Amino acid sequence: MRTLAFAALASTLMLVSACDDSGTSSTPSPEPNSSAQPQDIESCSSGLDFPDSENLFGGSSAQDSPEWSSESHSMEAIPVSSSSTHRTHRQSSSQVQQAESSSSQNSAPQSAGTSASAPAQVALDKDGFATVADVYKSLAPEEKAVFIIRHSEREDAVTIETELTANGVKMAQDLGKTLKSDEEFSYITSGFVRTNETANNISKGRGEANLPKLITNYDITGNWFLKISADSLALYGSSLGMKGGSVELMSHWAYGEPYPNALYELEPRAQEFMQNVILKNLPRWKRVSIMVSHDIFVMPLAVFGSEKKVALKYYEDYHWINYIAGLAIIVDAQNNLRYVPVKGAESGVIDYLAIYMAEHGQKRNP
């Protein structure tokens, strides 16, 4: 019964926005309300001078998964009840989430080659995420940190020019308020309007007097882990019998299922990003950097950095990476790295099943 319900829900999810925006222009255009301030552009780590728009954006601007829309779901597709309980991404980031205090969860995950010294402990919630603010406050004076997060809540259309919703603006500013200090941050974005607006509103929430000088990095547009275009992911998943489009495909892949024709192997590709993008550019960035990207880039990094402990198995529980959630990369004085999955809102996950049931007046079994 649950298998049938999953197929029905995933199928309708896929129909919300079939493979995002395959017909949209891939050429970056002037970005109103988001890029009036000067911007720096970093070269790609691939060694190319500047890739053309076809290579840069995978043939389109489809860097985000399809957005949930209750209007596209019929009552026949209601999933069966589940005993698990999670909050939805629409809730206010000002609400406080109870963090688990288990010592087994409080240690930041480390991978091969990372620092062996005991890191400062921060509480992780039930889904495996700490707050951005807690990680920031836990940094040692000699440590640097790069917070790679998904942009804030956006409008339904998915193009380069898609802007944040009013709630998305508030979410980003609320995150900034938790990071207030006299310290200057660096802000790195993919150059899309929604990532620029997220960075600007985090800065505004921090109380910075002027808009930050955004740094555009083309390695974080969303194609880092992809061998095919972002538009092709859903079609590729469908060819394998998947009903959940690119979201289901990337979830299977991030947790260990190889798809060598479509996606790079997660761990070596993530390690390459750390070496060729983070450590390469870190000397030019401030002690703390906010890097704003897209879900198909941030979700795999959160899985990688947590050693697959974060609850983002869409194919099992309908979880996907939430807005302004991602991964903190903490670098010590010897360039050793450690990772902590982070959230800027109340939850680090979007629970699509909970959203669906709430919008259709359904309740989960206790």
Q: What is the pLDDT of residue 84?
A: 31
Asked if 299 and 99 touch (Cβ cutoff 8 Å), the reply is: no
Answer yes or no: is pLDDT of 50 > 80.
no
Structure tokens at 63: 């860097």
Rounded to whole angstroms, the Cα distance separating 308 from 128 reads 10
Rounded to whole angstroms, the Cα distance separating 90 from 347 reads 10
Question: How many other β-carbons are positioned within 10 Å of the β-carbon of residue 274?
Answer: 22
Average pLDDT over residues 211-224: 94
Residue 345 phi, psi (nearest 5): -110, -170
**For residue 239, what are the contacts with CB-CB under 8 A and spacing of at least 6?**
none
Rounded to whole angstroms, the Cα distance separating 148 from 182 reads 21
Residue 290's beta-bridge partner residues? 147, 187
Span 93-129, pLDDT tens digits: 333 333 333 333 333 334 434 443 456 689 999 999 9
Q: What is the pLDDT of residue 121?
A: 83
Of the given ranges (35-39, 118-122, 203-207), which has the lowest mean pLDDT? 35-39
Span 279-305, pLDDT tens digits: 999 999 999 999 999 999 999 999 999
| 147 band by pLDDT with thresholds 50, 70 and 90 | very high
Rounded to whole angstroms, the Cα distance separating 217 from 208 reads 22
| 223 band by pLDDT with thresholds 50, 70 and 90 | very high
Q: From the CA atom positions of the chain, what is the Rg in Å?
A: 19
Highest mean pLDDT among 22-26, 241-245, 341-345: 341-345
Span 258-270, pLDDT tens digits: 999 999 999 999 9
Mean pLDDT of the chain: 76
pTM: 0.76
Average pLDDT over residues 253-260: 97
| 191 band by pLDDT with thresholds 50, 70 and 90 | very high
| 359 band by pLDDT with thresholds 50, 70 and 90 | confident
Q: Which residue has the tokens 């970056």?
A: 28
Q: What is the pLDDT of residue 129?
A: 98
Q: What is the pLDDT of residue 158?
A: 85
> What b-and-e string marks burial along 89-123, b requiring 16 or more CB atoms within 10 Å of the CB?
beeebeeebebeeeeebbebbbbeebbeeebbebb
DSSP 49-99: SS--HHHHTTTSS--SPPPP-GGG--GGGPPPP-S-----TTS-TTSPPPP
